[in-house]
Chain A
């Protein structure tokens, strides 16, 4: 009977395994193979060994893209977690209009990031955007600073827009974690003389570790793979200043460097893997 159940369960996993093989493993294997070729998307590819990988580390544009991507991910992932946690703690309390507030915070996450980026561009466009005009009408003749001329400001705007859009998602995960913490623990902590800070430190945060891990991992993956918001707000410019690695891969792929672009995709996979593994290990050890 037990034997038959195992067989049945294995059999039921077949469709998922077939789909996983067809749409993930097979393209991944093809991608790995392609990364060792000079394929331009049209002609027959030639095997070039590790040349594409060596070329990547000599490519100043690619290295700048790594810097931009990592900066974006660092800023975005940390702010998303911080703001998401703060929102979750507030939303976990009791006040009127809590449901509406949750919806408002979560709402941006359901809008396409590309559309969101364009909306923000119309708000922030130097000299012409809504905010610029509003600031001018308040008496500042210069309006909004031309944030497109400064790399730091560009990165800050990109990070803030991304945080604004996805904070709701982080909040929901933290909120679920908070609601899973038994109230008795807080009561015990209170009896032991712990204030709000003590409860947060010794009860809430340790028990939120699984949520923190999920949020950190998903935010790092999402932020390192950033594409839409940059395309809409800066188009990776001026020049290639704010180009992310995902945008670089797409442009290389269509720019007659398909083999090279798959090699960069492999490198990006490793870049994403490292912080994810580290953060998972750290949170596991704490647990």
Chain B
């Protein structure tokens, strides 16, 4: 009998320990644990609160932790904890599905907005009054005209080029595609050991960015930022014209095929990774690369003496009547969960995070200019800042496409360009397939 009781107790212990962690945890006054999305009727101002901050930005983990520690030490009621996930844009979907929603997050998608996942921040004038108007516009949801995230920084993307190589060959940055290919040709002829334009195409997102900045950039500049967003949201085929054989997509694809055939891009375009690109550019083996400001720290780390050798230029105009474009987009966007019972506490933390001193520290740490008017940060070496300012002044500034169809990510776009480069698509069939994929995603 005793044996049976022992077995019963052991079984019970095993079951209980297996189930530990499966249940939802609720707030308690002493531990302040919080599972977001769980209504907390007993919450009062005197209760301790723990906020979950979710991010996928690896480059800002340390700075954010520093600011979080300062915030936690500045008062004794709210404790913020940062959770980093490499694959944050996917992990957040699991969190939404399992109701384990963080209170504050940097992951943002149109689908989440449409589904009411985020708190409307339009009334937080203490932030909007300080933000650059263009950045406020970028944070505004086109469908509702409301703001569901606050972006504290800007990021730019364009062509980084080696100034020494350009000046050595008497080259000027290109405004048109013809000038661009002429530059590439000169580099290839004069410096056969140098890759004129290095593309790390194994990483599909990089090729996706080329589509995002070049053909999508053309659509954005020709329609205007807001109209382009509306056309994409409504899948206005007449305006987007993705599938036309002489449209932005087909011409872009043909240009890429030509560059590959002429040897103006690296021969290992489909197997090269980001590190290869950084190493080749930093060692002078590559003359140009396309990327965003986030690559700067890697370039300078690979070659600290490069500070004054890095130039920055817009993407050249490649369609008739178009102008060069440069990405000038929102970065580091913060949203608050619509279901968190701690909205005031979240706003209190963001108030602290958005203090000018903290934002200066943040901008300099992640090498991205601040979107706040009252923050002056030395986010990059002066020579590079000057290059970037010049590019922004002389080109049409475009933003990211947040209105892409569900299931058609930048990675998917890049894979289609991989197929172009491997020869599976002609320019026309690529354009047609792109339009078809876009349409299917919109259904």
Contacts and interface: CB of A to CB of B under 8 A. Distances in A.
Interface of A: 8, 11-12, 14-15, 18-19, 40-43, 125-128, 146, 148-149, 235, 237-241, 252, 254-258
A241 B96 CA distance: 32
Interface stretch (B152-160, B178-186, B265-273, B303-311): B265-273
A8 B4 contact: yes
Query: Lowest 9 CB-CB distances: which A-B pairs, in order?
Result: A256-B406, A255-B407, A239-B419, A238-B418, A254-B90, A256-B407, A238-B422, A127-B268, A148-B271
A247 to B, nearest CB: 12
Given A19-B18, A41-B97, A42-B112, A238 B270 contact: yes
Interface stretch (B7-15, B211-219, B316-324, B393-401): B7-15
B93 A239 contact: no
Nearest to A243: B415
A148 B270 contact: yes
Interface of B: 4, 7-8, 11, 14-15, 18, 90, 93, 96-97, 111-112, 115, 117, 201-204, 267-268, 270-272, 276, 406-409, 412, 415-416, 418-419, 421-422, 424
A12 B7 contact: yes
Main secondary structure of the interface of B (DSSP, over half): helix
B93 A254 contact: yes
Given A127-B271, A237-B270, A255-B407, A18 B15 contact: yes
A116 B35 CA distance: 37
Contacts of B112: 42
A15 B15 CA distance: 6
Main secondary structure of the interface of A (DSSP, over half): loop
Nearest to A124: B271
Contacts of B14: 15
B271 A42 contact: no
Contacts of B204: 235, 237
B210 to A, nearest CB: 15
A280 to B, nearest CB: 31
Given A126-B271, A128-B268, A239-B415, A42 B115 contact: yes
A263 B419 CA distance: 27
B149 to A, nearest CB: 17
Contact of B415 (A41, A149, A240): A240
A42 B96 contact: yes
Contacts of A252: 407
Contacts of A241: 422, 424
B267 A127 contact: yes
Given A8-B4, A42-B112, A237 B18 contact: no
Contacts of B117: 42
Contacts of B18: 15, 18-19
A118 to B, nearest CB: 10
B90 A125 contact: no
A18 B14 CA distance: 11
A237 B418 contact: yes
A19 B267 CA distance: 53
B418 to A, nearest CB: 4
A241 B272 CA distance: 17
6 contacts: A15-B14, A19-B18, A127-B267, A239-B418, A252-B407, A258-B97
A31 to B, nearest CB: 13
Contacts of A15: 11, 14-15, 18
